[in-house]
A and B are shown apart, each in its own frame.
Chain A
Amino acid sequence: MQTSEMTQTTADASEDLPLLRVSSATKYYGDRIGCKDVNFELYPGEVLAIVGESGSGKTTLLNCLSTRLAPTSGVIEYRNRQGAMRNLYQMSEAERRMLMRTDWGFVHQHASDGLRMSVSAGANVGERLMAVGARHYGDIRSTAIDWLDRVEIAEDRIDDDPRAFSGGMRQRLQIARNLVTNPRLVFMDEPTGGLDVSVQARLLDLIRGLVSDLGLSVIIVTHDLAVARLLSDRTLVMRRGHVIETGLTDQVLDDPQEAYTQLLVSSILQP
């Protein structure tokens, strides 16, 4: 696929064009496979879950997709706001950084990887806005307050730094920091991992609401099939670096075809 600028498409037509296209994405660590021959398309407003056990390659794949790790081979293309499909790894470093700051979000499992722990909650949110050119202090602060409210963090915590927050609050702050620039695509790496069950439920519900209100496209890596069930439209099952099964999430979970998927599904403890 050429990276030449394609003709501009109307908003309506782009609804039916993929936002992200992954073709034969492969990553080797020396001789060892990270992920191999991954192919899929993600459409606007779709939530895709990547599931599998630790070491299955799901985080490697997520990192390749989000330009955090260059694939050994394969092509990953993203449709920019002008409607042109661009090869991510043929963009300039500056262009890619701009994408990460504006069009994309990345929610890390450990909030400390996605937040600046030594600056206030308000600054964590405001910083992303300033990166896209906001300069008016009052506007930035009021937008930050608005976003803290949307992720259920009280206004009077705006000047506290995230070290004073609980795990669940930190994760909610990380989400606010990511969403404040109105991204079109958000990557999430085990966003509920390591949280208490009740905290998880609250966070999942919050993510579910935001995704549907904002019409976000999301790629979420999780080993928790219940998280995939609650949040995603489609699921991709990975094992040993390969995608072994894909489909509608309820299809994959209710009628798994592959031996490994059947094993995963049957291993869930029913409360």
Chain B
Amino acid sequence: MKTKICLSNVGKTFRMHLREGIELPVVDNVSFAVAEGECVILGGPSGSGKSSVLKMIYGNYRCPKGQILITDGEEIINVAQAAPRRIIRLRDNTIGYVSQFLRAIPRVPALRLVADPLIAQGVSEEEALAQARVLLTRLNVPERLWQLPPATFSGGEQQRVNIARGFIAHYPILLLDEPTASLDAKNRAVVVELVEEKKKKGVAMLGILHDHEARDQIADRIIDVTQFKAAA
């Protein structure tokens, strides 16, 4: 199986200038790999650095130490060193991020918001909107909401819109940031199905998932992040 994500000796420390410059070491010597068609879940209590690892891979946190190698077609890109516009290209075509928090954009209707990543990948608007309808239906977002901007939706509805947005496009790598948090059993089951479908397509997935039941259903491996605890 082809390796899609490979971290070696990754370390992260936050320096808090507003608090006398204290340093908060988060993780150190993080080394693991994720192959295509595999779903790996990061385990460990909150504060152990799971989210920081995910954000360094997506590039919204800087990675000051070690390497984060991403397979992008025939190329291998080190996110820790890549130029900003190379990271943007990775996000357009290669790495998707499914998070629980929706950053609503004023005036953009939910249906369009969901279809956008697919349109950005060159799929026709008509086809993208059709797939968005399918996903919103599967995730039980009521049809009367589709043409409205999600800013005023309930928390659960916003989250399901965002999950649809995260799963719609064809990314070879998906990062899952608590995709099932606060979902009811019915919708949680839908997310589990979506993950299984992505696996069959060879997508490499790395996620954080506190919900044990869903985790046991989708995880091929669990990596305990506490083993990478940085020395204070």
Contact = CB atoms under 8 A, between A and B. Distances in A.
B105 A205 contact: yes
A248 B105 contact: no
B62 A255 contact: yes
Interface in B3-27: 14-18, 21
A263 B107 contact: no
Contacts of B87: 248
Interface in A57-115: none
A208 B112 CA distance: 14
A202 interface: yes
Interface stretch (B28-36, B53-61, B65-73): B53-61
Contacts of B14: 255
A247 B83 CA distance: 9
B61 A259 contact: no
A9 B84 CA distance: 24
A247 B59 CA distance: 10
Contacts of B105: 205, 208, 230
B59 A248 contact: yes
Contact of A233 (B21, B62, B84): B84
A251 B12 CA distance: 14
A179 to B, nearest CB: 19
B212 interface: no
A202 B106 CA distance: 7
Contacts of A204: 106
Contacts of B84: 233-234, 247-248, 251
A259 B14 CA distance: 12
Nearest to B56: A255
A250 B60 contact: yes
B85 A251 contact: no
B88 interface: yes
Interface residues of A, number: 22
Nearest to B12: A255
A31 B210 CA distance: 58
A258 B17 contact: yes
A43 B62 contact: no
Interface in B85-118: 85, 87-88, 105-108
- Specify which of B14, B16, B17, B59 lies most central, judged by the most chain A CB atoms within 10 Å of its CB: B17
A251 to B, nearest CB: 6
B107 A257 contact: no
A46 B86 CA distance: 12
Contacts of A257: 15, 62
B17 A262 contact: yes
Contacts of B15: 257
Contacts of B61: 251, 254-255
Interface string A31-57: 000000000000100100000000000
Interface in A241-271: 247-248, 250-251, 254-255, 257-259, 262-263, 266
**The 4 residue pairs across chains A and B that have the minimum distance between CB atoms:** A259-B17, A201-B106, A250-B60, A255-B61
Interface of B: 14-18, 21, 55, 59-62, 84-85, 87-88, 105-108
